[in-house]
Amino acid sequence: MARLLMFLSLVLALSGHTACSPPDAPRNVLVITLDTTRADHLSCYGYPLELTPHIDAVARRGVLFERAYAPMGQTLPSHSTLFTGLWPRVHGALENHFLLSPDVTTLAEDLAARGYVTAGVTGTRVLDADTGIAQGIEHWDEEGMRREEGRKLAERKAPEVVDRALAWADRHLASPEAERPYFLWAHFFDPHTPFEAPPEFRAGIDEAVVAERVQQSRSRIRRVGEEPGHDPMARLAEYWADYAAEIRFTDHELGRLFDGLTERGLMQDTVVVIVGDHGEGLLEHGTRTHGMNLFDEVVRVPLIIATPNGELAGTRVDEALSIKDVRATVVGLADGSAPGGPDDLWKDLRARGALRPRPVILERPHYSDNNLLTRTNSFYTEGREAGPMLAIVAEGHKLVVRPDGGHWLFDLSATSPEFEDISARSPALTDRLHGMLQAWLDAHPVLHDADSQDLSPERLEMLEQLGYGR
Ligand SMILES: [Zn+2]
């Protein structure tokens, strides 16, 4: 249930300070995607150090979704779901190696059709125009991302993403299009490995606080612990602190983006969305990165949406949702003449003060022994069980169906929920969630497979450089 702070918004609305209704005129839309960002590492989600003051400020004037899930622990599938409102098995970008079908409609295309100027800046070649993710974006910036002779650059750091976004803003203001509403997407790759934030952002992080956090997480320390001459827990705290420094650095640069847009008059009448594409294992269940499993550290992401009139400001929504529903929500918030449809999160919050139950499905696909995935991505199969893994989040629990056909049921309200399988003592709930998952599967056949993908050797090589390859 959305919390009592919403009451405050209601009081303000009744007194005329905010308008709980769709906008009269189209609003600008700014979407920030944070790669590899765990929800629990933002201060506004309870991280014990102040890492994210600029994101926290947006949360105070908007709605924070406590339990937002990426559909998969991978960049392209998750971004594709975010921007199309479709599950990965429907839009077809089931893997970072795959391509988003040109047949789908993206948020940028929705807004372009309504007269918006559309712009985007990407921080990684995993999200370059070749993937299809930029469809509908007229002013697309990936300069320097492509391979040049003797150069293997596959990502851009946050300062360059911000500089390029602000450079677009200047060009936009000088253009005849300046009066039109805009859609701008900026993608930040920095929290992805390797962790290499500037030293000043790492220096301010109190390792003792991080170490306590690591202890609470009951992290397993297998790989880190194998390094000789190191105290495993101290080494793990260092690793977590390196990750936190990247999030702190990204937030700092986000502040520069917000200030730069404000100075240019472009933050007025602007809906701001901040969302993660997936989290990071940080060895909580033995895996360091993401994509391998469906535990919360890998798939639970931040989602914050703020409107220019501060509607529902300070609301924290507890119900689970998929970032699949962001597209419909943004369309509804951007343009009052075009309601967002049944998936619109805001419509639920306005009407009921809470989200109605909605499907939250998590997927790690696998096709066959000789498919593209297993041929090129040992990351999935190294010492692990190959095969599809599926999960559903409902009724405060998560049911994970493993490749071996077995399952785990986790009570998400427990202290360390995903370290205790409670399925044996909750058979009725387990059966019910199995039934819900099966009904969803029946309604959502896989529409695309590996054979439908036309992948160049260059693309496979680029992904390999980013650690997704053989
Ligand atoms: Zn990613």
User: Which residues are placed with Cβ below 5 angstroms of ligand 1, an ion?
Assistant: 35, 75, 277
Distance from residue 113's CA to the centre of ligand 1 (Å): 28
427 Cα: distance to centroid of ligand 1 (angstroms): 35
Q: What angle do CA 98, 121, 175 make, to 5 degrees?
A: 135
Q: Which residue, 432, 283, 298, 302, is CA-closest to 357?
A: 432
Tokens in use for 393?
Answer: 């989040």
- pLDDT tens sequence across 298-330: 999 999 999 999 999 999 999 999 999 999 999
Q: pTM for the full model?
A: 0.89
* Burial class of residue 427, CB neighbours in 10 A (0-12, 13-18, 19+): exposed
What pLDDT does 450 receive? 55
What average pLDDT does the structure give for the chain?
A: 85
Picking from 150-154, 190-194, 229-233, 337-341, which range would have the lowest pLDDT averaged per residue? Answer: 150-154
- CA–centroid distance, 180 to ligand 1, in Å, is 31
Q: How do residues 388-443 score in pLDDT, each as one tens digit?
A: 889 999 999 999 998 778 899 999 998 778 888 999 999 999 999 999 999 999 99
| pLDDT of residue 451 exceeding 60 | no
Chain centroid to CA 290: 12
Q: Per the structure block, which two tokens stand in for 379?
A: 């990351």
Beta strand residue intervals within 307-396, DSSP E? 315-322, 361-364, 389-394
Domains annotated for the chain, with CATH where assigned, are: 24-360 (3.40.720.10), 362-468 (no CATH)
Give 98's strand partners: none
In this structure, what token pair is assigned to residue 17?
A: 């300070």
Report the separation in Å between the CA atom of 431 and the middle of ligand 1, taken as the mean of its atom positions.
Answer: 33
- Give 112-162 as a 3 state SS string: HHCCCEEEEECCEHHHCHHHCCCCCCCEEECCCCCCECCECCCECCHHHHH
CA of 73 to the centre of ligand 1 (A): 7
Q: How far apart are the first and last CA of the chain?
A: 45
Quick check: 178 and 168 in contact, CB under 8 A? no
Listed residue (286, 295, 288) closest to 239, CA to CA: 288
* Whole-Å CA distances, 156 to 41, 77, 144, 163, 205: 22, 20, 8, 11, 24
